[in-house]
């Protein structure tokens, strides 16, 4: 007998052997199998190979179905094919009992500061609710150290029409000329916990909107929604302190989050406005734990900002663009806080919208001809934002600044499920692509 056989020859042999597991199965392609050392061909070997091939075919059919390509594997048999005991799934009674125990980590002795955002009428403001960030005594989602407060999501609003990724813009094109309506849509339709109003038109290189006119936009948003809000400038280090100070004045008593104080601008002026008009301060640094410590120290000791008014933004680098570094930085900050570093024991915020700066999130396809297919960007963009946010949630982040409504819904569902919140709503992933994607 020949020492080698082709798969097609074995298939022909199976056809005359009435192997039930291969009924209706067609094996395509051809390979040569070395049978040397098997001591000749055996019908039992044929049956065993047929059984294994049938199981593989069924697995591939299921995988194809998961990706939207239903495959029919032969005609249904009168009765299920017998499965070898070695291939059968283990029964619950066959599993070895095991117990997983959590133990307290002795080094984690310090609790993260709890910081409220938003004042209700009981607190002297007009917000419909107040949210709480922080308060953790361990890394997030540890079963033995429940998180006292769930993660929160704030959705971005801008004070002018601007260029956005197509997948994002389609959701907001009808309201981009009206910040109040934009904020209302984010709350009423997309379930935002907070609103972040970005006053980008104040940049001298864009429209150079005056602080007084920018403050009117803040008033408009406060009247349109009753959730807590964060107020951001344009990023111009000379203009932002003036803009945020005026915005803080018109929002007096609402306990907004002023975004942000940093080492490269007049952080003292922003801190002064926060204290004078009853707001919180976002302490922003650029992926540098030592710089974060320095800024927090200055806010507390030079500017006398109370601990329960500081939230950190250590900077978010998106998936594929330094996410691993951002994750490591946030995790190190949180671990240092739990181990007693009182300059870092504050909740953290992530500019998760930075994910949309990655070209993979918004480009139609790769600019490289030899690159593989990237798939539809309607999926890719939200996934990029979700993965960026979820990764940093595991690192200890508390507040997420986001844009795409599907990303918001999925991230909230994931984090609230891990948190154990009854507020988490099921997300129909199958309906991602549609008018609102």
Task: Name which of 245-254, 256-265, 368-377 the model is least confident about.
Answer: 368-377
Question: How far is it, in rounded angstroms, from Cα 134 to Cα 132?
Answer: 7
Does residue 156 form part of some domain? Answer: yes
Task: State both tokens at 390.
Answer: 């979820």
Task: Name which of 126-130, 182-186, 284-288, 420-424 the model is least confident about.
Answer: 420-424
Please, which pLDDT band fits residue 436 given cuts at 50, 70 and 90? very low
Does residue 49 form part of some domain? Answer: no
Comparing 56 with 266, the larger pLDDT belongs to 266
**Average pLDDT along the chain:** 85
Does residue 60 form part of some domain? Answer: no
pLDDT over 80 (residue 169): yes
Task: Output the pLDDT for position 434.
Answer: 44
Task: Name which of 52-56, 257-261, 350-354 the model is least confident about.
Answer: 52-56
Task: Name which of 138-147, 299-308, 353-362, 415-424 the model is least confident about.
Answer: 415-424
What mean pLDDT do residues 139-158 have?
A: 91
H-helix or E-strand spanning residue 198: strand 194-198
Task: Output the pLDDT for position 32.
Answer: 59
pLDDT over 50 (residue 433): no
Comparing 201 with 34, the larger pLDDT belongs to 201
When divided into structural domains, the chain yields a total of: 1
What mean pLDDT do residues 289-293 have?
A: 98
Please, which pLDDT band fits residue 420 given cuts at 50, 70 and 90? confident
pLDDT over 50 (residue 76): yes
Please, which pLDDT band fits residue 435 given cuts at 50, 70 and 90? very low
Range ranked top by mean pLDDT from 41-55, 65-79, 152-166, 376-390: 152-166
Planar angle of CA 168, 409, 360, nearest 5 degrees? 40
For residue 313, give the 3-state DSSP assignment. Answer: strand
Task: Output the pLDDT for position 369.
Answer: 82
Does residue 230 form part of some domain? Answer: yes
Task: Output the pLDDT for position 437.
Answer: 37
Task: State both tokens at 355.
Answer: 């994910």
Task: Output the pLDDT for position 240.
Answer: 97
Does residue 136 form part of some domain? Answer: yes
Comparing 84 with 359, the larger pLDDT belongs to 359
Where helices occur in 31-165 by DSSP H, the ranges are 43-66
Range ranked top by mean pLDDT from 6-15, 287-296, 364-373: 287-296
Q: Are 313 and 283 in contact (CB under 8 A)?
A: yes
CA-to-CA separations, 423 to 150, 386, 426, in angstroms, rounded: 10, 19, 10
pLDDT over 90 (residue 341): yes
Task: Name which of 41-55, 162-176, 295-309 the model is least confident about.
Answer: 41-55
Does residue 20 form part of some domain? Answer: no
pLDDT over 60 (residue 61): yes
Residue 181 CB-density burial (10 A; 0-12 exposed, 13-18 middle, 19+ buried): middle
Does residue 48 form part of some domain? Answer: no
CA–centroid distance for 127 within its chain: 27
296: CATH: 3.20.20.20
pLDDT over 60 (residue 140): yes
Task: Output the pLDDT for position 20.
Answer: 54
What residues make up the domain containing 189? 114-417
Does residue 311 form part of some domain? Answer: yes
Where helices occur in 156-303 by DSSP H, the ranges are 166-172, 179-188, 211-224, 240-250, 267-277, 289-297
What mean pLDDT do residues 46-74 have?
A: 63
Task: Output the pLDDT for position 164.
Answer: 94
pLDDT over 60 (residue 409): yes
Quick: pLDDT tens for 192-217.
999 999 999 999 999 999 999 999 99
Task: Name which of 47-61, 96-110, 379-393 the model is least confident about.
Answer: 47-61
pLDDT over 70 (residue 27): no
Task: Output the pLDDT for position 1.
Answer: 46
Q: Compute the Cα dihedral for 217, 219, 228, 257 and give only its sign.
A: positive
pTM comes to 0.76
Question: How far is it, in rounded angstroms, from Cα 348 to Cα 313?
Answer: 6
How many CB atoms within 10 Å of residue 432?
Answer: 17
């Amino acid at each position: 007998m020949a020492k080698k056989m082709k798969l097609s020859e074995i298939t022909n042999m199976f056809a005359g052997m009435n192997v039930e597991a291969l009924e209706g199965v067609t094996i395509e392609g051809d390979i040569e199998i070395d049978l040397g050392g098997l001591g000749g061909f055996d019908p039992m070997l044929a049956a065993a190979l047929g059984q294994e091939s049938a199981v593989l075919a069924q697995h591939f059919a299921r995988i194809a179905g998961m990706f939207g390509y239903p495959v029919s594997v032969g005609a249904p048999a009168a009765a299920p094919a017998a499965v070898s005991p070695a291939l059968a799934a283990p029964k619950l009674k066959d599993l070895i009992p095991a117990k997983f125990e959590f133990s307290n980590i002795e080094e984690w002795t310090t609790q993260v500061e709890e910081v409220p955002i938003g004042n209700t009428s009981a607190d002297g403001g007009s917000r419909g609710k107040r949210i709480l960030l922080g308060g953790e005594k361990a890394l997030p989602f540890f079963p033995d150290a429940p998180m006292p407060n769930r993660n929160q999501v704030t959705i971005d609003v801008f004070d002018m029409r601007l260029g956005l990724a197509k997948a994002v813009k389609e959701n907001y094109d009808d309201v981009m000329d009206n910040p109040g309506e934009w904020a209302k849509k984010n709350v009423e339709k997309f379930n935002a916990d907070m609103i972040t109003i970005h006053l980008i038109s104040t940049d001298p290189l864009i429209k150079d909107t005056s602080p007084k006119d920018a403050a009117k936009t803040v008033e408009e948003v406060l009247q349109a929604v009753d959730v807590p809000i964060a107020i951001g400038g344009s990023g111009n280090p000379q203009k932002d302190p003036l803009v945020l100070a005026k915005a803080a004045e018109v929002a007096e008593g609402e306990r907004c989050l002023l975004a942000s104080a940093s080492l490269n601008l007049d952080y003292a002026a922003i801190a002064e406005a926060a204290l004078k008009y009853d707001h919180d301060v976002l302490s922003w640094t650029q992926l540098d734990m030592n710089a974060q410590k320095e800024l927090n120290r200055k806010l507390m000791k030079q500017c006398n900002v109370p601990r329960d008014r500081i939230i950190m933004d250590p900077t978010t680098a998106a998936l594929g663009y330094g996410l691993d570094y951002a994750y490591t930085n946030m995790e190190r900050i949180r671990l240092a806080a739990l181990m007693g570093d009182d300059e870092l024991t504050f909740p953290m915020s992530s500019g998760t919208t930075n994910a949309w700066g990655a070209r993979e999130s918004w480009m139609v396809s790769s600019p490289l001809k030899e690159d593989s297919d990237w798939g539809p960007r309607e999926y890719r963009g939200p996934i990029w934002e979700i993965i960026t946010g979820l990764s940093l949630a595991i690192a200890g982040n508390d507040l997420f600044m986001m844009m795409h409504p599907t990303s918001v819904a999925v991230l909230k569902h994931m984090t609230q499920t891990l948190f154990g919140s009854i507020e988490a709503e099921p997300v129909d992933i199958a309906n991602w692509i549609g008018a609102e994607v």
